[in-house]
């Protein structure tokens, strides 16, 4: 079977590039006989080895239709990884899907679906997702809430496949991780990972930290990240407000904020160093979170907002979900995780089950089963 992916790819600093790398490596592990080509956006490193090739052949700012078509037209299956910011809202991707009709099986993973009522563009996002789903032969989504929107838009249910985002399994020793990152050893560490952005609600985390400290718990908040290279002014202003909030709440001694980008090789140590990972986000996009699955893969307790992005957390424990902006809810759950060994054991046991179910090997098998149909 000849399988082609259309995606961004490493070393591009792009979540879709990282996702595709994890997925392809998983597929190559479970089905090494598959012949895989990645038709990657310019910026990817070309590779060629037995049954695997990466071709850097298109640019999101140009008309890529024919270039991608020429590189994937001989494949049995073409699997496109879609994200709005990569493909925009014009007709180029639609024309590519039309050109491939009858020549190959067209699979598309729609990583994000933005409902019309929450988009600054109105119905455009929703209508575009509908258009590409109609032209594809099979559609992969990560969440049930995404599936529900596609069903409402008239996409046949037999065409939609819910396959979870994969979890990279890691088992880094906590003491070694903290030594490597120069973090405190004899304390609890709550982690926030990734670029600093307003929707991640770091201000809510700070309020929760303040409340936890009032219970005489030796705890730190480790904000492992900084501004994105493409950060807008509102994000720069938000980081400044967070730094002022830390001073205002007198938390300078309890917040670790390096304000820098961490390379991929440091990521397992970052998650390995933590006792709990916080996701009190507030956003209305229907999309899974790679950082959330890194936490699961590291077998770490998670506290997250009760929003579609983290709906999977109910598969571990619904008690770990809090309403948006509920800093006291975060504090109360964290305190129980720190103090109640039975509750912590329950959460870790359930996390172990879900990380096995969503390992990249398991997710790769689900994809291969879909391809073989």
- DSSP code string of 299-349: T--EEEESSGGGGGGGGT-GGGEE-TT-HHHHHHHHHHHHH-HHHHHHHHH
Q: Which residues contact 314 (CB under 8 A, 6 or more apart)?
A: 321
pTM of the model: 0.93
Burial group, residue 325, by CB count within 10 angstroms (0-12, 13-18, 19+) = middle
Rounded distance between C-alpha atoms, residue 92 and residue 75, angstroms: 20
Rounded distance between C-alpha atoms, residue 262 and residue 270, angstroms: 9
- 174-357 under CATH 3.40.50.2000, yes or no: yes
pLDDT for position 117: 95
Share of the chain above pLDDT 70, in %: 100
The arithmetic mean of pLDDT across residues 188-203, rounded, is 96
Task: Judge whether 333 and 211 are in contact, CB under 8 Å.
Answer: no
pLDDT for position 228: 83
Q: Which two tokens stand for residue 91?
A: 């007709």
**pLDDT reading at 264 higher than 90:** no
pLDDT for position 45: 96
pLDDT for position 361: 98
The arithmetic mean of pLDDT across residues 59-69, rounded, is 97
Share of the chain above pLDDT 90, in %: 96
Write out the residue limits of the CATH 3.40.50.2000 domain(s) in the chain.
2-165+360-372, 174-357
Q: How confident is the model at residue 261 (pLDDT cuts 50, 70, 90)?
A: confident
Residue with tokens 């054991």: 345
Question: Rounded to whole angstroms, what are the CA distances from 27 to 35, 130, 174, 193, 358?
Answer: 10, 28, 30, 27, 14
Q: How confident is the model at residue 161 (pLDDT cuts 50, 70, 90)?
A: very high
pLDDT for position 263: 84
The arithmetic mean of pLDDT across residues 103-117, rounded, is 96
The arithmetic mean of pLDDT across residues 137-145, rounded, is 97
Task: Judge whether 99 and 125 are in contact, CB under 8 Å.
Answer: no
Rounded distance between C-alpha atoms, residue 88 and residue 162, angstroms: 24
Q: How confident is the model at residue 39 (pLDDT cuts 50, 70, 90)?
A: very high
The arithmetic mean of pLDDT across residues 229-250, rounded, is 94
pLDDT for position 262: 87
What CATH topology corresponds to 2-165+360-372?
Answer: Rossmann fold (3.40.50)
Q: Which residues contact 85 (CB under 8 A, 6 or more apart)?
A: none
**pLDDT reading at 222 higher than 90:** yes
Q: How confident is the model at residue 280 (pLDDT cuts 50, 70, 90)?
A: very high
């Amino acid at each position: 079977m000849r399988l082609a992916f259309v995606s961004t790819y490493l070393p591009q600093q792009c979540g879709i590039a990282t996702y595709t790398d994890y997925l392809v490596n998983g597929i190559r592990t479970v089905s090494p006989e598959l012949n895989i080509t990645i038709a990657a956006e310019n910026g990817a490193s070309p590779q060629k080895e037995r049954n695997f090739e990466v071709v850097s052949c298109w640019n999101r700012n140009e008309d890529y239709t024919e270039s991608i078509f020429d590189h994937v037209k001989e494949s049995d299956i073409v699997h496109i990884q879609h994200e709005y910011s990569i493909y925009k809202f014009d007709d180029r991707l639609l024309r590519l899907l039309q050109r491939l009709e009858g020549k190959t099986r067209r699979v598309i993973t729609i990583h994000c679906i933005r409902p019309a009522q929450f988009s600054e563009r109105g119905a455009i996002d929703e209508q575009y997702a509908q258009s590409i789903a109609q032209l594809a032969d099979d559609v992969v989504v990560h969440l049930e809430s995404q599936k529900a929107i596609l069903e409402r838009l008239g996409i046949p249910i037999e065409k939609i496949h819910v396959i979870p985002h994969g979890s990279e399994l890691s088992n880094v020793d906590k003491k070694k991780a903290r030594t490597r990152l120069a973090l405190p050893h004899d304390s609890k560490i709550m982690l926030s990972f990734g670029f600093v952005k307003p929707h991640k609600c770091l201000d809510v985390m700070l309020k929760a930290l303040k409340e936890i400290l009032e219970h005489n718990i030796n705890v730190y908040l480790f904000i492992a990240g900084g501004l994105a290279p493409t950060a807008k002014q509102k994000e720069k202003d938000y980081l400044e407000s967070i730094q002022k909030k830390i001073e205002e709440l007198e938390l300078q001694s309890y917040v670790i904020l390096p304000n820098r980008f961490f390379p991929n090789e440091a990521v397992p140590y970052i998650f390995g160093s933590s006792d709990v990972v916080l996701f009190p986000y507030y956003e209305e996009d229907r999309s899974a979170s790679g950082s959330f699955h890194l936490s699961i893969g590291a077998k770490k307790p998670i506290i997250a907002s009760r929003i579609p992005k983290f709906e999977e957390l109910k598969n571990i424990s619904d008690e770990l979900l809090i309403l948006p902006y509920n800093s006291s809810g975060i504090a109360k759950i964290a305190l129980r995780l720190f103090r109640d060994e039975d509750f912590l054991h329950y959460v870790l046991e359930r996390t172990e089950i879900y990380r096995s179910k969503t390992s990249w090997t398991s997710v790769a098998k689900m994809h291969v089963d879909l391809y073989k149909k």
